[in-house]
Amino acid sequence: MTASIDSLLTRVSKPARYSGGEWNSVTKDWRNASVRIALAFPDSYDIGMSNMGLGILYDLLNKVEDVAAERVFAPWEDMEAEMRREGTPLWSLETRNRIRDFDILGFTLQYELTYTNLLNMLDLAGIPVWARERDESHPLVIAGGSGAFNPEPLAPFIDAFVLGEGEDAVVELADRVREWKRLGTPRRGRLRELLTMPGVYVPSFYEPRYDASGHFASLDRLDGAPPTITRRVVEKLPPALVKPIVPFLQTVHDRAAVEIQRGCTQGCRFCQAGMIYRPTRERSPEEVVQAARELMQNTGYDELSLLSLSTTDHSQIVPMIESLNETFPALKIGIPSTRVDSFSVDVANAVAKGKKHTLTLAPEAGSQRLRNAINKLVSEADLLGAAENAFQRGWTGVKMYYMVGLPTETLEDVAGIVEMGQKVKAIGRKYVGGRARVRVSTSNLVPKPHTPFQWARQDTAPELAEKHFLLKDGCRSAGVEFSWNDPRDSFIEAVLSRGDRRVAIAVYEAWRRGAKFDAWSEYFNPQTWEDAFAAAGVDGEWFAHREWDTHEPLPWDHIDCGVTKSYLRGQWRDVHSVKTVPDCHHGSCNVCGMQNFDALNGEKGVSDCLVKLDRLVEMRRGTEKYEGEVLELV
């Protein structure tokens, strides 16, 4: 098989995507490994190798002596054509063994438009696409990541989902595999045992039921399966990844990175990550500096990214930056996510070395009313102050991220994006003259499970087109650059985000018709998906373009992310009253449900949360709006 692979590498672009052997990769003796796990990312190597989660799991598993963790990515079109022509099955990068010969094939789900790639990888590996068709000769196919928080559109293809943070879960899973192989536990017995593993959902033990109108009604349990699956949460961040694999070719994020903080409690109502990765946990400046030191030694990179959902929210970001600058004077430090305020600009300025080009800010909405509605707690003064601070300090460009199609949004709100662009452009011209560059980039709202917007309707393509036209015309007149997302792929993403198990048939039909790499504009074909929906009898409009009732059954109701449905329901009502909630990381508890995770916080943390909860109950007693939610949480 090795000779065949070597010959394939000579016929494709970017053969380094498939060769393995990179610096810091780990190759173990296949014959001596008791447990063999293939870690899969359903997109190209260039994208997957930039995913820190996959790198963390790879590192943790390979530290276990008898566990071999290897990688596999979606082959690009040229390689797939060669593999199918030669009959070469999908292989792992480390030992070039067939993927179907591993004990576990574990997929990371980060984006819904990679789902057809997952099916394509199974097919290339010689593994039946439908889970029901697999036998004792096939690996267990497991999936995790943010996409797993509504597992139903992939449920018929996946043997088990791991919900939440995987650091502890993957090691426990490896222990179970080792024991299964020792005892000779059959496939169905292995799946049954996974029902007892915290955070694991096994779809074959659940049966969806639909009402007389054909709409999702419930998920019925079979053979004693648990009613809910609660996500895994690590109490303390594990040691930072300090020996990552260094690719042979340039990837999307080609630099060293340290996760300085996990979780975000700003409470933006559209943001799934802000809900499913709570609570906030931080690394100390000392730990970050030590991790940076080891990363530089182990990789040779001269650029470091400080990763977090909102990096400048770290409570010790200033001493952290000061320590890094003092310890590594020549190191380029990147901050990928910046709050819209002057403090964040000060931090960005502190890490900027050499030329200052573009600073990225995310106001998200064009008016204060709409920012309040989505709980984006920044004002126009914050934004203009940040822009002025940036241009004063020598930045020549500001890029602003917005969303369109937000609940309660009007054309006046959309016009506010243009007005803000004009004001920022004027500030730029004042300080840097003709070099001032302002860019506006918009994405279309995709309602996500486990957020207050999980009940929101998505704007239709004509509705979004009207808003995009207003923005294109206005930004052109203002001398502001403008880019936007195609409403057609946002529609597919919404259907896959909120779909029930019947949507899996449409995913299969789309793949069968040639859909793959849908996240890449050159490959995405909306007609393929329209045909797939029609063939599967799936009404995409039902899932994407209607406002859902807050008490109707949801396909993901059996998944407990830690934030309660009652809290989300209250937040959805607050959208229309334009009421905001503060960040609980810097203030009082908002009673979202995470205070119930006793093991996470320890006795003192739980005690503090209960005191805050008692105070909130007193404050809200007799208030109709919160009465049900408070009583339910208590």
Contact 256, 238 (CB under 8 A): no
Given a cut of 60, whether residue 376 has pLDDT beyond it is yes
Least-confidence region, from 85-99, 298-312, 527-541: 298-312
CA 438 to chain centre: 28
With cut-offs at 50, 70 and 90, classify the pLDDT of residue 625. very low
Residue 373 has a pLDDT of 97
94 closest CA partner among 180, 33, 10: 33
Residue 354 has a pLDDT of 67
Span 300-326, mean pLDDT? 93
Given a cut of 50, whether residue 151 has pLDDT beyond it is yes
Given a cut of 80, whether residue 175 has pLDDT beyond it is yes
Given a cut of 80, whether residue 588 has pLDDT beyond it is yes
**Residue 427 host element (H or E):** helix 411-432
Is 307 part of a structural domain of the chain? no
Q: Determine whether 237 is exposed, middle or buried from the number of CB atoms within 10 Å of its CB (0-12, 13-18, 19+).
A: middle
Span 256-264, mean pLDDT? 95
- Partners of 256 in beta bridges: 304
Is 37 part of a structural domain of the chain? yes
- Rounded to whole angstroms, the Cα distance separating 492 from 240 reads 36
With cut-offs at 50, 70 and 90, classify the pLDDT of residue 607. very low
Contact 629, 563 (CB under 8 A): no
What average pLDDT does the chain have?
91
Given a cut of 90, whether residue 549 has pLDDT beyond it is yes
Residue 340 has a pLDDT of 84
Report the share of the chain in percent with pLDDT over 90. 83
Contact 389, 345 (CB under 8 A): yes
Digit-coded pLDDT (tens) for 195-252: 999 999 999 999 999 999 999 999 999 988 999 999 999 989 999 999 999 999 988 8
Is 63 part of a structural domain of the chain? yes
Residue 129 has a pLDDT of 98
Report the share of the chain in percent with pLDDT over 70. 93
The count of structural domains within the chain is: 2
Is 126 part of a structural domain of the chain? yes
Contact 597, 233 (CB under 8 A): yes
Instruction: Please name the residues in contact with 59: beta carbons below 8 A apart, sequence gap of 6 or more.
Output: 241, 243, 244
The count of other CB atoms within 10 Å of the CB of residue 26 is 16
Span 594-618, mean pLDDT? 45
Q: Which domain holds residue 569?
A: 559-633
SS3 (DSSP) at 586: helix
SS3 (DSSP) at 283: coil
Residue 619 has a pLDDT of 38
With cut-offs at 50, 70 and 90, classify the pLDDT of residue 295. very high
Position of tokens 């599967």? Answer: 536
Span 447-472, mean pLDDT? 98
Span 468-490, mean pLDDT? 96
Given a cut of 60, whether residue 597 has pLDDT beyond it is no
Residue 353 has a pLDDT of 73
**Helices in 246-359 by DSSP H: which ranges?**
272-276, 285-299, 317-327, 342-351
With cut-offs at 50, 70 and 90, classify the pLDDT of residue 90. very high
Instruction: Please name the residues in contact with 516: beta carbons below 8 A apart, sequence gap of 6 or more.
Output: 74, 77, 116, 117, 120, 523
Distances in whole angstroms, Cα of residue 75 to Cα of each of 6, 48, 141, 245, 509: 15, 11, 18, 19, 20
Q: Which residue, 204, 230, 256, sits at the end of a domain?
A: 230
Is 336 part of a structural domain of the chain? no
Residue 134 has a pLDDT of 98
DSSP 8-state assignment for residue 149: G
- Partners of 140 in beta bridges: 104
Which two three-digit tokens encode residue 632?
A: 């339910």
Which two three-digit tokens encode residue 443?
A: 């994405």
Given a cut of 70, whether residue 608 has pLDDT beyond it is no
Is 350 part of a structural domain of the chain? no
Contact 304, 324 (CB under 8 A): yes
Cα four-point dihedral sign 213, 214, 215, 218:
positive
Q: Which residue, 206, 230, 254, sits at the end of a domain?
A: 230
Is 179 part of a structural domain of the chain? yes
Is 106 part of a structural domain of the chain? yes
- Rounded to whole angstroms, the Cα distance separating 237 from 591 reads 23
- Rounded to whole angstroms, the Cα distance separating 86 from 73 reads 19
Q: How far apart are the first and last CA of the chain?
A: 60
CATH number at residue 188: 3.40.50.280
Q: Which residue, 198, 230, 262, sits at the end of a domain?
A: 230
The CA angle 322-325-331, to the nearest 5 degrees, is 150
Span 581-592, mean pLDDT? 84
Phi and psi of 231, rounded to 5°? -60, 150
- Partners of 232 in beta bridges: 164
Instruction: Kindly give the interhelix angle for 2-9 and 77-86, rounded to the nearest 10 degrees.
Output: 140
